[in-house]
Chains A and B, each alone.
Chain A
């Protein structure tokens, strides 16, 4: 086998992990699936899907299945900061195969405010004891930005009235791996948009430990669960990009695999919503699609059981997995290329590009703007005559 060495090292890690005690002695994940009518065949199909998503060779599928069965060795602690709970909604309840949510429910029940069955003091107690009991062994997932203005008092939680900032820091200090779930936790999100009334900050600003960002508003649950499985398999950080996003999920642009890409290349654009081009499913760049500037796998994975995604619903991508997209990508119905050097907030794509030194982005943007302008003369006019 081509990747025999890697395979062996992952297999070794899993067999070590297997010796860890289960969180809940009464039931294994395998049994749980069986009880809920998920056949071994469905499960293996799912494992093959995740293997492909993580860009691993298909021979690794049995390992992936084993990793999924071992998720009950690693509890997940989920913290809510300043947020809309959209990420939990996305993850815990809106997607399938239900295997994802099933595994997640099973391992995260230690603490998840919105869903957990214990309530009130009991719940808070569970959090504290989970952090204590699994010190250095749990996966921390944080949803929401962390308000730091006014001494952090824009968010206080729990019985001791602890600020969100303090509680996130405490949990992060004790965690084995830390994931910032959603754009708020990764980059500050909506509450950090200009003028940032509560001085909200990303999770990476309140801890010194490495934070893996899983942005998106909301991120797809496949990216969240994929990260857990990756951690179980490798026990290390995945390959990350400049914004600490795992490359297996955020390695390519929305634009690269977009179903409307062919129309872009052919210069066929929706000139305005509701026109003939919109009916035909032409490219949405001119009505504000930010797909060319946005790194995420939505065009491949989609949402809600692979049913649809915004571009399929005829509205452009708003760039929600990019840092500060609320300030940099708007207005969401106009192309970015129009305002490269003069945007509403003075922080256009050019500045974003400068900040991270991804000069290529600007070059692409200029190219796209030029392409769109030429296409308006060549192809676009045709569709509006029809």
Chain B
């Protein structure tokens, strides 16, 4: 028997509607619908090229630094296309990476404490009504997030929507005292994560190569894993087991894709955007404002799990061996990436050489800048791509492919997208909702 239900998914930086087709009390197919559209790409047209660095962050309030950085890199690549490869000082690169890392750290903590934990508590006890004010850990998590954003704002001026990035470097010139303040903030964040999230020092956590070792000490992560195992999330939520990470990261050497456990080099040239089933499709059969992104005509999963598969992280590889790309693996991967980011940011802050120049001005006259450019960044949720073409310093075309678009394509029954495949065959909407959230979906990014 076939029936169709409509559900609303909340708390994903906006909302999405899930239209589910049921067959024999199991999800047969899912349409994911986004009914919000702003047209940022159209707005960018014919504007001075540097305005992209201010406008694109407004695509998304939770990953604004990622967007600003991607736009900056895209313009830098445009300079290279024009014949002037820009030199960016190591200091500027480090500051960019610190702010990007911090944005991911706050995002991962926010997602775990505000999206995942309350859901898990509800799953294990349907009568559970979340009361944030009775929960000290929740409160401390919020303080930690505030602390991470403070860390970011030392360099970016404010968060969200900081203004500090320019093609050629950064505009901020931190003093030694700023670095000390940043280190202090980072220390506070690490302490919280060690005492609640991991239940051990992050160095210890990063040394783990078997998932059993996570279970040794009591922590929020351990408790979540137990609930997920109990409710079958170690076997549900599987998708194609195909991953992609096109941006640079300290975790791996170069842009790659990963099919099952085999890592192969990947190239941005094979990326294509599809309008299928969207309102932009000329055939008029569309049902959403969201587009799809494909690599060699296939759907690929992006995000922390993808990055750690590329990095051949021992813990995640161990989980993958046991549970494949299930919800459990995906969730632990994001929490695990947070530890890597904390460690990396600590190193970056220590080695930051404030004596170097922050910004080196391009020699070419901006009024003549003509060419094409691509910026790629590994944002919290995965590969973020900006492509632009510029004529005489003005934007001709601008194209944004956000991470959520990779994971949430509008597939068909024969060829479902990553998330669509992950929720097929499930017996209940509650489970589908949780698996949906395990991808850390962002509605405002998806449709811009």
Tell me the bound Cα distance from A120 to B48 in angstroms.
Answer: 41
Contact B13–A114 (Cβ < 8 Å): yes
Q: Hey, which bits of chain B sit against chain A, CB under 8 A?
A: 6-11, 13-15, 35-40, 42-43, 47-48, 50-51, 54-55, 57-62, 64, 110, 114, 118, 129-133, 136, 139, 142-143, 145-146, 149-150, 152-164, 166, 168-173, 289, 357-361, 433, 444
Known A-B contacts A190-B43, A304-B158; the reply to A274 vs B14 at CB < 8 A is: no
Tell me the bound Cα distance from A113 to B164 in angstroms.
Answer: 30
User: 8 Å CB contacts to B: which residues of A95-119?
Assistant: 95-96, 98, 101, 105-106, 109, 113-119
Tell me the bound Cα distance from A113 to B16 in angstroms.
Answer: 11
Q: Count CB-based A-B contacts (< 8 Å).
A: 238
Contact A313–B162 (Cβ < 8 Å): yes
**A83 proximity list for chain B (CB < 8 A):** 61, 444
Contact B110–A273 (Cβ < 8 Å): no
Query: Of B8, B38, B145, B152, which is within 8 A of A200 by CB?
Result: B38
Contact A119–B36 (Cβ < 8 Å): no
Query: Of A85, A89, A121, A156, which is within 8 A of B35 by CB?
Result: A156
**A95 proximity list for chain B (CB < 8 A):** 146
**A96 proximity list for chain B (CB < 8 A):** 143, 146
Contact A190–B149 (Cβ < 8 Å): no
Known A-B contacts A106-B133, A217-B161; the reply to A274 vs B10 at CB < 8 A is: no
Contact B64–A86 (Cβ < 8 Å): yes
Contact A84–B58 (Cβ < 8 Å): yes
Query: Of A120, A196, A344, which is within 8 A of B8 by CB?
Result: A120
Known A-B contacts A105-B132, A310-B164, A314-B164; the reply to A331 vs B58 at CB < 8 A is: no
Summarize A's interface: helix, strand, loop or mixed. loop
**B145 proximity list for chain A (CB < 8 A):** 93-94
Tell me the bound Cα distance from A376 to B158 in angstroms.
Answer: 30
A325-364 vs B: 1/0 string, CB under 8 Å?
0100011110000000000100000000000000000000
Shortest CB-to-CB span from B241 to chain A, Å, is 29
Shortest CB-to-CB span from A247 to chain B, Å, is 23
Contact B35–A147 (Cβ < 8 Å): no
Interface centre among A35, A153, A194, A315 (most CB of B within 10 A): A315
Shortest CB-to-CB span from B111 to chain A, Å, is 12
Contact B58–A86 (Cβ < 8 Å): yes
**B146 proximity list for chain A (CB < 8 A):** 93-96, 98, 101, 304-305
* Interface residue A27 (Cβ < 8 Å from any Cβ of B): yes
Query: Of B10, B39, B51, B153, which is within 8 A of A307 by CB?
Result: B153
Query: Of A82, A86, A114, A120, which is within 8 A of B433 by CB?
Result: A120
Q: Which B residue sits closest to A298, measured CB to CB?
A: B158
Contact B10–A191 (Cβ < 8 Å): no
A299-319 vs B: 1/0 string, CB under 8 Å?
000111101111111111010
**A198 proximity list for chain B (CB < 8 A):** 37-39
Shortest CB-to-CB span from A334 to chain B, Å, is 8
Q: Which B residue sits closest to A117, measured CB to CB?
A: B130
In the complex, 29 of the A-B residue pairs with CB atoms within 8 angstroms, ordered by the A residue number, are: A88-B61, A93-B146, A93-B149, A96-B143, A98-B143, A98-B146, A109-B132, A113-B15, A117-B131, A121-B8, A147-B37, A155-B37, A157-B15, A159-B8, A190-B40, A197-B42, A217-B161, A218-B161, A273-B168, A274-B360, A278-B173, A281-B173, A303-B153, A304-B146, A304-B152, A305-B146, A310-B164, A315-B166, A326-B55
**A273 proximity list for chain B (CB < 8 A):** 166, 168-169, 171, 358-359, 361
Shortest CB-to-CB span from A361 to chain B, Å, is 22
User: 8 Å CB contacts to B: which residues of A147-165?
Assistant: 147, 153-159, 161
Known A-B contacts A114-B11, A119-B10, A120-B7; the reply to A191 vs B155 at CB < 8 A is: no
Tell me the bound Cα distance from A314 to B60 in angstroms.
Answer: 23
Summarize B's interface: helix, strand, loop or mixed. mixed
Tell me the bound Cα distance from A139 to B164 in angstroms.
Answer: 35
* Interface residue A255 (Cβ < 8 Å from any Cβ of B): no
Contact A154–B38 (Cβ < 8 Å): yes
Shortest CB-to-CB span from A219 to chain B, Å, is 11
Interface centre among A90, A117, A123 (most CB of B within 10 A): A117
Contact B358–A314 (Cβ < 8 Å): yes
Tell me the bound Cα distance from A159 to B9 in angstroms.
Answer: 11
Contact B14–A113 (Cβ < 8 Å): yes
Tell me the bound Cα distance from A195 to B433 in angstroms.
Answer: 37
* Interface residue A131 (Cβ < 8 Å from any Cβ of B): no
**B10 proximity list for chain A (CB < 8 A):** 113, 116, 118-120, 123
* Interface residue A279 (Cβ < 8 Å from any Cβ of B): yes
Contact B358–A308 (Cβ < 8 Å): no
Contact A279–B61 (Cβ < 8 Å): no
Shortest CB-to-CB span from A320 to chain B, Å, is 8
**B172 proximity list for chain A (CB < 8 A):** 313-315
* Interface residue A59 (Cβ < 8 Å from any Cβ of B): no
Contact B173–A314 (Cβ < 8 Å): yes
Query: Of A27, A124, A193, which is within 8 A of B43 by CB?
Result: A193
Query: Of A88, A117, A281, which is within 8 A of B132 by CB?
Result: A117
Contact B43–A117 (Cβ < 8 Å): no
**A154 proximity list for chain B (CB < 8 A):** 36-38, 289
